[in-house]
Amino acid sequence: MASTVLDSALYRDSFGTPAMRGIFEDAALLARYTEIEVALARAQGRLGVIPAAAAREIAEKCDAATLDLERLKQETETVGYPILPLVRQLAAQCGEAGKFLHWGATTQDIMDTAVAMQVRDAFTLIEHDLAALRAILLRQAKRYRDTPMAGRTHLQQALPVTFGYKLAIWLATTDRHAERLAQLKPRVLVGQFAGAAGTLASLGARGLEVQKALMQELRLGQPAATWHAARDNLAEAVNFLGLLTGSLGKIAFDVMLMASTEVGEVAEPFVQGRGASSTMPQKRNPISSELILAAAKAVRQHAGLMLDAMVQDFERATGPWHAEWIALPEAFMLAGGALHQATFMLGGLIVDEARMRRNLDMTHGLIVAEAVMMGLAPHLGRNEAHDIVYDACRAVAEHGGSLADALAKVPVVTQHLDRAALEALTDPANYLGAAREMVDRVVGGR
């Protein structure tokens, strides 16, 4: 029976995706281990390190699908690692050639290289879903480039922005993540083959040659030096996921706040029954945003665990390595799930432009008090203009009416600004700064 949200029949597709789970499931991992053992034999056979006939026999006979999983489980619990029990079963499959299996390798070589291959496959999924998300944000940033809405600081209305500007900020963030992913892959997608203490001593002068041939077989980079106990590459991979899901969490948090009843500017896509309450039929909870936010918090913890696991002793760790077994697969599954939820949510986001405008106008011009102050400043000086507009804002707050009405009652203001000028200055749509130009810069020629 499943015991966590990542493998629960109820929750697994809320917090993850079948494709990402497929990369990290036991059967896929054992297949990777076997693939590496076969690739090592093939490389060594080609180089004459082991008999070519034995290498062919190993390639033909090794079959992860026929492993005795119960025996493998029991022996792994005894040994502490799965590779020795795995090699015993694979060697038995190969008959006499089995004695050349795992030649010059050590357990961590196979396990670390398998992780590099898992990360490569997982990054392919992340890259695909991130591209889909960026395409959605690009399309929506263009669509809502000129849609004015209230910008908020400290949860209070601050100055007008456009919804396209908000979307462009989200898009720029995801663009940077795509750039980070492209930059980190050459550092992270590097295999491991170095022997007992990392020096390849068991293969004599052929060690580096075998290492290069193995990495060519597996389409991985060859390390400049052993990384058995230098884990910055995998820590970088998971901390990238922390950055990515952190950005997704920020987007989700914004959407949740904008979807609140009192704000009502956006809503998640409508799906019959989604977000329903068992007691309140009117409810439409922002489920995808909630799942994204939860995933972001969990990935952040795993990113910290990977940083902790970097502190390893001497040439092979006595425990930190094991922490990676927990953190890395879960971080990728949660990140994949968060990206899936984000593309669903933003791809079908319901935007209420009329509500955005009503919210923008709800302070009757106070949101653009700065605009009036700057309009008066050339005539009165900034400080005096500030005090006059401040008093007018207090009058609106206490007695109602609009900011334009309050200012029209101040003679020193009307000496310089007529009613039309006041109406123009207090129209939020006229005080958007460079918001639209920033959208254009992020969108570029796309």
- pLDDT digits over 291-314, tens only? 999 999 999 999 999 999 999 888
Given this model, what pLDDT does residue 96 score?
A: 94
277 is catalytic: yes
* 264 and 167 both lie in a single domain: yes
Residue 149 lies in a domain: no
How far, in Å, CA of 247 to CA of 17, rounded? 19
Least confident interval from 20-34, 128-142, 395-409? 395-409
Complete DSSP assignment for 247-272: HHHHHHHHHHHHTSTTT-SEEPPP-T
Residue-wise burial string across 229-255, b where 16 or more C-beta atoms lie within 10 A, e elsewhere = bebebbbbbbbbbbbbbbbbbbbbebb
Q: Quote the crossing angle between the two packed helices 163-188 and 232-258, to the nearest 10°.
A: 170
- List, in sequence order, the alpha helices (H) in 231-352: 232-258, 287-309, 320-347
For the beta carbon of residue 53, count every other beta carbon within 10 angstroms: 12
- 237-279 pLDDT, tens per residue? 999 999 999 999 999 999 999 999 999 999 988 776 655 455 5
Boundary residue ending a domain (338, 357, 376): 357
* 128 and 207 both lie in a single domain: yes
Residues 6+ apart with CB under 8 A from 98: 58, 90, 91, 92
Residue 375 lies in a domain: yes
Given this model, what pLDDT does residue 272 score?
A: 67
Rounded average pLDDT over 387-403:
90
Phi first, then psi: what are they for 4, rounded to 5°?
Answer: -130, 165
Catalytic residue among 128, 260, 277, 322: 277
Catalytic residue among 3, 154, 278, 399: 154
Question: Could you tell me how far CA 76 lies from the centroid of its own chain?
Answer: 33
Residue 286 lies in a domain: yes
154 is catalytic: yes
Boundary residue ending a domain (313, 339, 357): 357
Residue 154 lies in a domain: no
Query: Nearest CA to 340 among 265, 244, 242, 260?
Result: 244
Full domain range(s) for residue 270: 12-94+103-140+162-357
User: How many distinct structural domains can be found in the chain?
Assistant: 2
Q: How far is the first Cα of the chain from the last one, in angstroms, to the nearest whole number?
A: 48
